[in-house]
Amino acid sequence: MTAKTPPRPTDAELEILTVLWSRGPSTVREVHEIVSRRKETQYTTVLKFMQIMADKGLVRRDEKNRAHVYEASRPREWTQRQLAGDLLERGFAGSAKSLLVGALSARKASAKELVELRKFLDDYEKGIR
Amino acid sequence: MTAKTPPRPTDAELEILTVLWSRGPSTVREVHEIVSRRKETQYTTVLKFMQIMADKGLVRRDEKNRAHVYEASRPREWTQRQLAGDLLERGFAGSAKSLLVGALSARKASAKELVELRKFLDDYEKGIR
DNA sequence: ATCATACTACGAACGTTTTCGTTGTCAAGA
DNA sequence: TCTTGACAACGAAAACGTTCGTAGTATGAT
């Protein structure tokens, strides 16, 4: 029996994951605090999402304390890989170039970011064996 | 009053759009023919989606002939920009590099594709004024 | 012991997405 | 003219995603 990979997070779930990625293990209250800055949301709404995410295997829950502590069950890079890979296939016919074109036309990249991108391409190429 | 931009396409809608992008204006039957190769789907399911998409403004419909002809109402690049931009912000905190890392770790790029990517970066840089 | 508070659990409503069956229409061939 | 096949329209069910209210429970302060 293989542990199955968690499904692609929904929009609301992704927002919560980003909080967990940046804060590390957090309580519902802490996540709600951050999320509700952007978007008016009830505490119990966030709680419900995090419960659902625990069911789906998107997060792990530590119930030792009264206020449960949640953490992303997969590292950020892993989930980002799923997301990027999924969109790459479904919307860009697998063309990484088209994906980058789309991204950089939606959001102008700074000179610094271009340097980063080139550097990554160099490193990536070295990694190919 | 501003003409509002069509909403982000759902998964099923995106699949249909990709067919329209590659084939150009097409009938429901033609789209169904392609889509049903990947995924078992009834004709009327595809029809319904395309009707919904017409309502949403995602596609335009030419009713002159008995078999209506549909075409994407926005060019592929436009929609791809929305998709990439949306994911970039929501899942990658705006970092194009992270998005590319995700994409290229999900799907190994060929040497040729790397050349394309570098070339695009060069062109893109020239375009900044 | 009681009370207020900070939690979790849960149910339900509502909207959206996906799916398909049924019905009605038109056009071409018998 | 009648039938058949190919099509659009529509309704509705089922699944999913989002949102929040209410109820229950544990903890610490009075």
Q: Is the CB of A66 under 7 A from strand D?
A: yes
Give ipTM to 2 decimals. 0.93
d(CA B21, CA B16): 9
Is pLDDT of B2 > 70? no
Structure tokens at A103: 């991204």
pLDDT tens for A5-46 read 889 999 999 999 999 999 999 999 999 999 999 999 999 999
The answer to whether residue A126 scores a pLDDT higher than 70 is yes
Nearest Cβ partner of B81 from A79, A102, A128? A102
The Cα A23–Cα B14 span in angstroms is 34
Residues of chain A with Cβ-Cβ distance to B107 below 8 Å are 85, 88-89, 94, 96
Q: Is the pLDDT of residue A2 over 80?
A: no
Look at residue B114 and tell me whether its pLDDT is greater than 60: yes
Q: Which CATH architecture has domain A11-72?
A: Orthogonal Bundle (1.10)
**B43 interface with A at CB cutoff 8 Å:** no
pLDDT higher than threshold 80 for residue B69: yes
Mean pLDDT of A56-67: 96
Residue nearest to nucleotide C6 (CA to C1'): A67
Residue B129 predicted with pLDDT over 80: no
Q: Which of A116, A91, A48, A81 is nearest to B14 (CA)?
A: A91
Domain boundaries along the sequence of chain B: 11-72, 76-127
pLDDT per residue over B11-25, tens digit each? Answer: 999 999 999 999 999
Burial A24-62 (b: 16+ CB within 10 A, else e): eebbbebbbebbeeeeeeeeeebbebbeebbeeebbebe
Averaged confidence pLDDT in chain A: 95
Average pLDDT of the residues of chain B:
95
- Is the CB of residue A126 inside 7 Å of nucleic acid strand D? no
pLDDT at B31 > cutoff 90: yes
Say what the pLDDT of residue A115 is.
Answer: 97
The pLDDT assigned to B94 comes to 98
